[in-house]
Structure 1
Amino acid sequence: MSGLYLILENGTVFAGESFGAEGEVTGEIVFTTGMTGYLETLTDPSYHGQIVLQTFPLIGNYGVIPADFESVSGGPKAYIVKTPCQVPSNFRSEGNLGTFLKEKGIVGLYGIDTRALTRIIREQGVMNGKITAAPPGEIPPEEIRAYKIQNAVQSVSCTVPALYKADQTKYTVALFDFGFKENIKRELLKRNCAVWVLPYHTPPEEVIRLAPDGIMLSNGPGDPAENIAILENLKVLLQTGIPIFGICLGHQLLALASGFQTYKLKYGHRGANQPVKNLKTGRIYISSQNHGYAVSQESVDTGVAEPWFVNVNDRTCEGLWYQQIPAFSVQFHPEGCGGPQDTAFLFDLFIEKLEGKKYAAG
């Protein structure tokens, strides 16, 4: 282990120690508040191009469990923790965090004041940073500020379609891979769905040729408004009458294809403790979230879609129920494998859509 610096684009410098892969990296720094679920975070393609900061001080105590990974290769560029656990204790563990980061090529930094860094991001907003062994004075802030996440969805999506079948297949679902998490697929297979995992750019005619009972729009990284070609394809699919369920980025893309707008949040929602309220029932759920953009509530045409869920903390849009087409979407993660799993029932609602049942948002 050796010394490293984290240099923010505003010039602030933190000195810490290296663990995991060696090297220097520039990325967008975001924080996540989860006390557990670090394996899901480190394998979530939605963190593409970002440096993830864990606010909980001790990370790695239950080791590395491959069965809990959300993807084979997707994840953040770098990882910052206060204290990495060197000797994990868990009967399912197959390794430690430092070794895992080395294997995945993820640069790790520990020993900095993570609370101070989190406060900077909360007060000033998400910003770029560079992890490097070079003395701070040698890195101009302009270089760090110029970094931009590019070709996000293209970088994490699969390149060829793949079919996965349940033991007793009853439905077929086309799952668009914008950087999907494995547990979305697991939840569909659990409900007797054959799942076609499709590349992000799959043309509408190819989707229709598969004759799916439903379409899933997955989570993924980046600015949703940059995906112009995907939005054009979605506009065609919205006219087919095939039931659609969007999660996270999928929620945002469905909204944009319907004529609504999205915007970047100051520091986003990332963690497993985000309260969301069902506007139809008044019930509040605790949800898992990972996003830096949101659908503009003011841009939603209520003749096209009804606001369904709202974030209790900041009143941002967390779900839409479409009026004229068989579709709904949520900003949070009902498949959140690291927990909580309060909203997994949304997959059951999707199955009811596939069966052609009529029901109201609730």
Structure 2
Amino acid sequence: MTTRYLILEDGASYKGVSFGSEATTTGEVIINSNMLGYQEVITNQIYHNQIIVFTQPSIGNTGINHKSFESIVTNAKGVIAKEYSNISTNRLGNLSIDKFLKQNNIPGIAGIDTRELARHIRIKGSMKGSIVDMDDEHAYDQLNASVLTNQQVDQVSTKAPFPNPGDGYNIIVIDFGLKYSILRQLSERHCNVTVMPWNTSSKEIMDLDPDGIVLSTGPGSPLNLPESVLDMIRTIQKSVPIFGMGLGHELFALANGAKIYQMDIEHHGSNHPIKQIITNKVIYASQSQGYAVDPKSISHDNLIVTYVDLINKTVQGIRHRDYPSFSIQFSPDGGPGPIDSVDLYDEFLENVSSQRR
């Protein structure tokens, strides 16, 4: 095993042993507290440009299988774990995590106290880090000189439309960093889905005669996307029901006059308690969140808050007062995590049905 280091821009250094690719990499270091589902996390496009620190004690023991991908192209910059296993106990796991990371040129480090590292990040705040062979002055100079792209959505979104056929409602999914769990849920409801690039115009969408629009999750800041995306949402919501989630939720909020702020510490994990305001019902959901809607900026003339996080009180859902459109910050389909709120897809399709009538 080769010794490698995770170095942080505040000067901290963590020594471990290498697995996966031997590449040197730089990215934003984020903490993921999921106890299961490392494959879904690593293949989620929201982790573009990020080094993922898993706080679960061990990853790799269920291998890599064809049923758990959230994207085919993996854009994470690195993986940090307490320990990893190359022996799969899952009959579907024909590929080890070590080999999978090598295939995708993603470096990993094991043997690090990830709980202590998580505590450090939560105290100091989000920061850049690098996976390197030596934690010398040159490595820190390279890290501090590196600039991470703010064009993540353009890099992960599909470049051309593609279908996910069905015989039900005609649903357009705008791909800001699509999770395959979204397509799986729509397929279970027999929707005829067309996935479109992030910069598709409202005319191109309406030319396809959609019954409903899904604004997908995605990486990065919604503030880095052009005004044309917000104009598209404003135009479409007047005619067609919209369901936004994650980055799509933040864009839906911006399009309707709300403001977005960056959180001090990103939230990545499952089992977050979230309250539905109208019923006081508490659900548990998966979050991958670095930005949030400012509740003080929400105009009650056109938006109402539907869900709040019980831990930090962040806005987790909004609904439009005049149009049959809504959005949520969390992931209703798990991937990985609870599926307490998967019926939000049914609620969306009820809006679609009512609009068609």
Query: What TM-score results when the alignment is normalised by the length of structure 2?
Result: 0.96
Give the structure 2 partner of residue 151 of structure 1: 151
Distance 2:256 2:74 in 1: 29
Q: CA RMSD in A?
A: 1.5
1:145 and 1:356, CA in 2 relative to 1: closer, same or farther beyond 3 A? farther
Give the structure 1 partner of residue 86 of structure 2: 86
Distance 2:173 2:74 in 1: 17
Whether the 8 Å contact between 2:74 and 2:104 is mirrored in structure 1 is no
Whether the 8 Å contact between 1:128 and 1:147 is mirrored in structure 2 is no
Gaps of 5+ in 2: none
- The offset of 1:134, in angstroms, is 2.7
For 1:170-209, what aligned pairs fall within 5 Å after superposition? 170-209=168-207
Specify which of 179, 197, 211 is matched with residue 209 of structure 2: 211
- The offset of 1:146, in angstroms, is 4.8
Distance 2:183 2:201 in 1: 21
Distance 1:24 1:320 in 2: 41
Give the structure 1 partner of residue 8 of structure 2: 8
Distance 1:299 1:74 in 2: 35
Give the structure 2 partner of residue 293 of structure 1: 291
Whether the 8 Å contact between 1:27 and 1:147 is mirrored in structure 2 is no
Distance 1:308 1:109 in 2: 40
Whether the 8 Å contact between 1:13 and 1:136 is mirrored in structure 2 is no
- The offset of 1:141, in angstroms, is 5.3
Distance 1:146 1:300 in 2: 36
Give the structure 1 partner of residue 247 of structure 2: 249
- Secondary structure, counterpart of 2:67 in structure 1: helix
Q: Cα deviations across residues 32-76 of structure 1 (Å, max 9, x unaligned)?
A: 100101110011000001000001111111111122101000331
- Secondary structure, counterpart of 2:120 in structure 1: helix
- Number of residue equivalences: 355
1:164 and 1:271, CA in 2 relative to 1: closer, same or farther beyond 3 A? same
Give the structure 2 partner of residue 272 of structure 1: 270
Give the structure 2 partner of residue 33 of structure 1: 33
Whether the 8 Å contact between 1:10 and 1:141 is mirrored in structure 2 is no
- Secondary structure, counterpart of 2:88 in structure 1: coil
Distance 1:92 1:61 in 2: 12
- The offset of 1:159, in angstroms, is 0.7
- The offset of 1:105, in angstroms, is 1.3
Specify which of 222, 225, 228 is matched with residue 224 of structure 1: 222
Give the structure 1 partner of residue 233 of structure 2: 234
For 1:87-126, what aligned pairs fall within 5 Å after superposition? 87-126=87-126
Whether the 8 Å contact between 1:170 and 1:194 is mirrored in structure 2 is yes
- The offset of 1:235, in angstroms, is 2.5
- Secondary structure, counterpart of 1:67 in structure 2: coil
Distance 2:65 2:315 in 1: 34
For 1:277-356, what aligned pairs fall within 5 Å after superposition? 277-356=275-354
Query: What TM-score results when the alignment is normalised by the length of structure 1?
Result: 0.95
Distance 1:238 1:29 in 2: 36
Distance 1:2 1:69 in 2: 28
Gaps of 5+ in 1: none
